[in-house]
Structure 1
Amino acid sequence: MLRSLYYDVRGWFVLRRRRLAMYWALRDRGDAPFFAFLSLPFVAVGLIVYFAYAARSTYDGSQIDAGKLRAREIRCLAENIYFEARGETLKGQYAVAEVTMNRLASPYFPDTICEVVHDTRWDRSRRQLVAHFSWTALKLRLESGSPAWKQAMDVATTVYHGYYEPVVPDALFYHATSVNPYWASSKKVVARIGNHIFYR
């Protein structure tokens, strides 16, 4: 930024000297060519500053937007891990995160992690919209400074960037072992990890 400002100022002085030289050369030809040449440095400097600022703001804006989007997606994934599996083993937490990411990759679910986590579908038997992850329909308290939250963030970051070995490949569904949902019989069991059963 300072370097470009330095070049702009230096260019200004060079153009000013050239303007004086042009004035001397055109002094006998009238004022119109002089004023035309006089405006050129202002136009040139203005265009340089405009395009430099536009390029910088576009680059910075896209970088900031991408960073904010990534942070929001990781947070949504961490919240799902925290509320769905904070009492589970590390493997169980990875499995829950993996199901979320598998849904993201599936054409049958939304296109962002946050939308996947907060997705609702119409349940014909209950005749109402039902959240895929039940905690999203409740007002639960998140203890952001707790060790469980820090671990959920670590797992979410690792899974988001793909730095893990899949534990439930192709799994799109799971439920707690304490319940028996109507849809379980139509799915194929992939794994049983902790208090959850995972299906594809």
Structure 2
Amino acid sequence: MKRTYINITLILISLVISLVLAVTHFTGLRKVEIEPNRAPPILIGQSDEEDILAIKQYKTPSKAKNITISSLSEENQTEVMLLARLIHAEAGNQPYEGKIAVANVVLNRVKSPDFPNTIKDVIFQKGQFTPVANKKINNTPTEEDIKAAKEALEGVVVLEDALYFENSKNKNNWIKKNREFITRIGEHNFYR
């Protein structure tokens, strides 16, 4: 008798899980933005693969948040401020997750053999970032921009392998033809 109840319970659990997955798949849930310091939602993509990828990409922010700019070495202060200025110029009006994603693009390029190997050289590589050309890179970043730069440098990752981004309103055919779309955060599309 107990085995029958256990078997029925397992069957019911399997049916509920299957139903949830089917509803999720067919309703086409959209990715929701992950707020800083919060765990990702369980169902965020349009498929199981998207959900798994998004959860793998999310990393809990570092606990060492109270590092002040003045406590960093001079070289690290320069990197934080340069990255913060780029974040401010490129993503100043974007959600916090988007600010970290822009920083992730720069740091991913530093790691890539296809780009220069320092933050400064990546940011100032000719033709890569509009704010360098139009001098908006020189604008003063906000505290939130600086925090996003510090967190990215401390290892917070929103997008692990993104190497490019663009404003979603741009009609850049090159990037769409030559790069794989990853996701959209705020008004930016990210590509690998």
Instruction: Tell me which interval the TM-score lies in, with the shorter structure as reference length.
Output: 0.5 to 0.7
The answer to which structure, 1 or 2, has the higher relative contact order (CA under 8 A, 6+ apart) is 2
CA distance in structure 2 between the aligned counterparts of 1:92 and 1:99, rounded to whole angstroms: 11
- Residues 39-188 of structure 1 correspond to what in structure 2 (within 5 A)? 67-120=73-126, 131-140=127-136, 142=138, 144=140, 149-162=142-155, 164=156, 166-184=157-175, 185-188=177-180
TM-score, normalisation: structure 2: 0.59
The Cα offsets for residues 85-128 of structure 1, whole Å up to 9 and x where unpaired, read as 000000111111111110011011111101111111xxxxxxxx
CA distance in structure 1 between the aligned counterparts of 2:104 and 2:154, rounded to whole angstroms: 12
- Root mean square deviation, CA, Å: 1.7
CA distance in structure 1 between the aligned counterparts of 2:135 and 2:122, rounded to whole angstroms: 18
**What residue in structure 1 maps to residue 187 of structure 2?**
195
Q: Which has the larger radius of gyration?
A: 1
Q: Give 1:76's aligned amino acid.
A: L
1:171–1:198 CA contact under 8 A, matched in 2: yes
Which secondary structure does the structure 1 equivalent of 2:165 belong to? strand
TM-score, normalisation: structure 1: 0.56
Q: Give 2:130's aligned amino acid.
A: S
The Cα offsets for residues 69-94 of structure 1, whole Å up to 9 and x where unpaired, read as 11111111111100000000001111
CA distance in structure 2 between the aligned counterparts of 1:182 and 1:141, rounded to whole angstroms: 25
Which secondary structure does the structure 2 equivalent of 1:192 belong to? strand
Unpaired segments ≥5 residues, structure 1: 1-65, 121-130
The Cα offsets for residues 137-169 of structure 1, whole Å up to 9 and x where unpaired, read as 11338553xxx611111110111121x2x2222
Unpaired segments ≥5 residues, structure 2: 1-71
CA distance in structure 2 between the aligned counterparts of 1:70 and 1:156, rounded to whole angstroms: 11
CA distance in structure 1 between the aligned counterparts of 2:77 and 2:129, rounded to whole angstroms: 21
Which secondary structure does the structure 2 equivalent of 1:157 belong to? helix
CA distance in structure 1 between the aligned counterparts of 2:173 and 2:139, rounded to whole angstroms: 33
Distance 1:71 1:191, change over 3 A: same
CA distance in structure 1 between the aligned counterparts of 2:124 and 2:167, rounded to whole angstroms: 19
Provide the aligned length of Structure 1 versus Structure 2: 120
Q: Give 1:191's aligned amino acid.
A: T
CA distance in structure 2 between the aligned counterparts of 1:190 and 1:141, rounded to whole angstroms: 26
Structure 1 outlier segments of 4+, above 2 Å: 139-144
